[in-house]
Amino acid sequence: MLAYVFWHQPRPDVAGDEYETLLGAFHRSLAAAPPPDFHGSAAYRLAAAPWAPPGSVYEDWYLVSGSVGLDRLNDAAVTASRQAPHDSVAARAAWGAAGLYRLREGTGRLPSGGSALWFGKPAGLPYDSFYREVRGTAGSAPWSLWGRQMVLGPTPEFCLHPPSGDLARPAPRATVAIALEPVWPGARP
């Protein structure tokens, strides 16, 4: 499974409530008429993110089966019943950046809130050992480890969505913990 992750901010003259209403309308339009290979989406408000300009930022996750699903999502987002909601929120955005992530371990479920942990794999540590370490810290509750693809994106290499957004467990080499405030709960795979 792949996740297209998009960070964005509204223009300074756009009220947060208006932006979130339009963002929710776009996600609803995708849920109502999903393209093939689409497995749901979620949108979160973040107080800040180190890879974004200062201030609140939004983080959208779009789950697809693979690269073909990514192409289908890209085309579907701006056509048919999804075009007007997409264009409305996009016209109010001031900044955006995106990344592509592959599910490396866990369930692939998107959290309904809580926090995300962003970190890198230490140089010299084999990936098999690294994944074992993450499994040992994540526990048995649903969790997901996403790995950045082909260095596409502004973030550290990995994102861990811990069980129920629980940050009480020790994080493997966490560099950034970011609270996720849900804007759109979306569908789950």
pLDDT tens, N- to C-terminus, the chain (189 residues): 999 999 999 999 999 999 999 999 999 999 999 999 999 999 999 999 999 999 999 999 999 999 999 999 999 999 999 999 999 999 999 999 999 999 999 899 999 888 899 999 988 999 999 998 888 776 667 889 999 998 888 899 999 998 765 554 555 566 788 999 999 984 333
User: Please, are residues 140 and 133 in contact by the beta-carbon 8 Å criterion?
Assistant: no
Nearest to 142 by CA among 112, 98, 176: 112
Query: Residue 189: what pLDDT?
Result: 36
* Look-up of token digits 């861990």: 160
Query: Tell me, what amino acid is at 165?
Result: G
**Terminus-to-terminus CA distance in the chain, angstroms?**
10
* Model pLDDT, residue 143: 86
Helix (H, G, I), strand (E, B) or coil at 13: coil
**Closest among 51, 46, 32, 24 to 116, alpha carbons compared:** 46
pTM (two decimals): 0.92
Instruction: State the pLDDT at residue 172.
Output: 58
Q: What are phi and psi of 4, to 5 degrees?
A: -90, 120
Which domains are delineated in the chain? 2-184 (3.30.70.100)
What digits encode the pLDDT tens for the residues 152-174?
A: 888 999 999 987 655 545 555 66
